[in-house]
Amino acid sequence: MTFVTFAILAALVVGSAAGLILKRNPIHGALFLVVNLASVAGLFLTLHAEFLAAVQVIVYAGAIAVLFVFAIMVLIPGKEEMGPDPLRGQRLLAVPLVGVFCVLVALVLRSATLHGPARGAAVPGGVEAVGRLLFTDYLFPFEVTSVLLLAALVGVMALTKRKA
């Protein structure tokens, strides 16, 4: 049962990523991205990371996707990739190279730490376990995160402000 769920979600993830890469219209790409992020949230659920699944839906599939759609609507793109491609050879070359890259990453990950028996004990994935970690061991990075978000906020306003 869990394997069937995983297979369906994995197919959704890979298919929507392929759609994002292949579709010419960026608004279609944004919708594929939403499907992809939601499927990853489902994968988090199958890994018993309930808190992250909720955050994924709220932050990624909610806020970030809306931001993308908003930017697409402001810019009204779609004609960028119509003309002749001056770097067509390089782009075609990218496909086999990425294949090689994928094999390399898979080899590295395979040799990493997946040997030996698993711990077996289910990791508590709820708000309690993650929150306890965030507010004890990772307290300083957590505070730095707030500074980072503030800096991003100020930076965005400085960047997009029209000159008077």
Give the nearest distance from C-beta 23 to other proteins in angstroms.
Answer: 9
Distance CA(90)–CA(87), nearest Å, equals 5
Which CA distances in Å does 93 have to 88, 101, 121, 146? 9, 13, 45, 41
Here's the x/- map for other proteins, 39-78, by CB under 8 A: it reads as -x--xx-xxxx-xx--xx--xx--xx--xx--xx-xx-x-
Give the nearest distance from C-beta 116 to other proteins in angstroms.
Answer: 10
Give the nearest distance from C-beta 154 to other proteins in angstroms.
Answer: 10
- By CB under 8 A, is residue 36 in contact with other proteins? yes
Of residues 101-120, which lie at the interface with other proteins (CB under 8 A)?
101-102, 105-106, 109-110, 112-114, 118-120
Q: Which of 21, 89, 140, 164 binds other proteins (CB under 8 A)?
A: 21
Q: Which of 84, 89, 111, 121 binds other proteins (CB under 8 A)?
A: 121
Which CA distances in Å does 110 have to 7, 97, 113, 115, 131? 20, 20, 8, 8, 31
Q: Which of 8, 18, 73, 143 binds other proteins (CB under 8 A)?
A: 18
Instruction: Please state the separation of Cα 102 from the chain's center in Å.
Output: 17
Q: Where would I find the H helices in the chain?
A: 2-22, 26-46, 50-55, 65-75, 88-110, 127-135, 139-160
